[in-house]
Structure 1
Amino acid sequence: MKRIKLLDKEFALTIPGSDIKKATWQMAEKMNQDLKDKNPLMVCILNGSFMFSADLLKLVEFPCQISFVKLASYEDMGSTGTVKELIGFNEELKGRTVVLLEDIVDTGITVESCVNQIKKTGAKEVLVATMLFKPAACQRRINLDYVGLEIPNDFIVGYGLDYNGYGRNLPDIYSLVK
């Protein structure tokens, strides 16, 4: 599909699933080298990163544990500027390598908040892997260890990303048609 309609908005295809798969594979290859001896805790930030996390974790070849947190910082089409923790950590993080798996880093507020929270637990190191990064939207100084694709500051849906709950199931990524 070249164009889709979700609720009252129209979106155009910008990143086909094949490009996402290639970027995911490249990220997994780098992680396989970097993390093979670290036994990390891989943390999927819900809801958006569920598709990326599932695809990435199928490709990692090192021992790891997988966990989930649910955070919210968006309403409608914009960031609220605050991060609400809806489901938190259950695992012991002290002394661990923790890898946050995020669908997209735009303002950086969510990732910064999560990294700071994990560091307070005494984690050995906190790494961030994101499928998508919007450099033009980033408002925080954050270290991104693994980046799939850099994208412009457009509103997007698909591959886990949504517009008011719709579009997460799409295998491609679409940008809002203005």
Structure 2
Amino acid sequence: MELDDVRDDLTDVLISKEQIAGKIGELARRIERDYDDQRPLLVGVLKGAVMVMADLARELRIHIDMDWMAVSSYGAGTKSSGVVRILKDLDTDLTGRHVLIVEDIIDSGLTLSWLLQNLERRGAASVRICALLRKPDAAKVDVHVEYLGFDIPNEFVVGYGLDYAERYRNLKGVAVLAPHVYE
């Protein structure tokens, strides 16, 4: 879906599909260098990271494994509740694995901080983070992100995997959702 298809629901376009593609390519080249002699396990965080994970995996020129995990701290709202729930756990044993968490967005950092600790406790050799978006002004905890796409303002955004009430995930860019849609 093009951003123009729902223009009345958006206030500002923050990142175009071309900018996203370029950044995914840059991140992939860095990941290839860092994991050159390893076979990393990419752990996509459902549902938002589906687009990032798919495009990143296709862009990488090294062998990888993939798995998915679903955690939630949002429910149906627009703000994090701070309570993390595992909705779908990994199928892969992490013992001795080099894990790369792939995220769509980092808001408060609370969910990601919890997830990082959870995966480290499972015996991974290393756990790093790749996130397309981060809202520095929303951070409540400091989480080191090894591979970061873009810093964005603390606005409610949709597109490229990010949703509101399961809508807008398939937008080909990232935009600010107009308040009239969710208020």
Q: Same fold (TM over 0.5)?
A: yes
Which one has a larger percent strand, Structure 1 or Structure 2? 1
How many percent identity over aligned positions? 31
Compute the displacement of 1:177 (Å). 3.3
The corresponding residue for 2:17 is: 17
Q: Aligned Cα RMSD in Å?
A: 1.5
User: How do 1:11-160 and structure 2 match up within 5 A?
Assistant: 11-74=11-74, 75-160=76-161
Matched to 1:100, the amino acid is I
Deviation beyond 6 Å, 4+ runs, structure 1: none
8 Å CA contact 2:71–2:88 kept in 1: the answer is: yes
Matched to 1:163, the amino acid is Y
How many Å separate the matches in 2 of 1:10 and 1:141?
Answer: 30
How many Å separate the matches in 1 of 2:106 and 2:56?
Answer: 17
How many Å separate the matches in 2 of 1:165 and 1:23?
Answer: 25
How many Å separate the matches in 2 of 1:170 and 1:17?
Answer: 9
Matched to 1:4, the amino acid is V
Q: Which runs of 5+ in 1 are unaligned?
A: none
The corresponding residue for 1:4 is: 6
1:38-60 Cα distance to aligned partner (Å, 9 max, x none): 21111010000000110011011
How many Å separate the matches in 1 of 2:16 and 2:62?
Answer: 28
Matched to 1:117, the amino acid is N
The corresponding residue for 1:171 is: 172
8 Å CA contact 2:104–2:161 kept in 1: the answer is: yes
Compute the displacement of 1:11 (Å). 3.9
How many Å separate the matches in 2 of 1:32 and 1:40?
Answer: 10
Q: Which runs of 5+ in 2 are unaligned?
A: none
1:85-144 Cα distance to aligned partner (Å, 9 max, x none): 000012111111100000001111111111111111111110000000111111112110
Q: TM-score, normalised by structure 1?
A: 0.93
How many Å separate the matches in 2 of 1:5 and 1:59?
Answer: 29
Query: SS of 1:141's equivalent?
Result: coil
Compute the displacement of 1:4 (Å). 2.5
How many Å separate the matches in 2 of 1:176 and 1:142?
Answer: 26
Compute the displacement of 1:63 (Å). 1.4
How many Å separate the matches in 2 of 1:170 and 1:5?
Answer: 11
1:142-170 Cα distance to aligned partner (Å, 9 max, x none): 11010011111111000000011100011
Which one has a larger percent helix, Structure 1 or Structure 2? 2
8 Å CA contact 1:93–1:121 kept in 2: the answer is: yes
Matched to 2:42, the amino acid is M
Query: SS of 2:28's equivalent?
Result: helix
How many Å separate the matches in 2 of 1:166 and 1:5?
Answer: 14
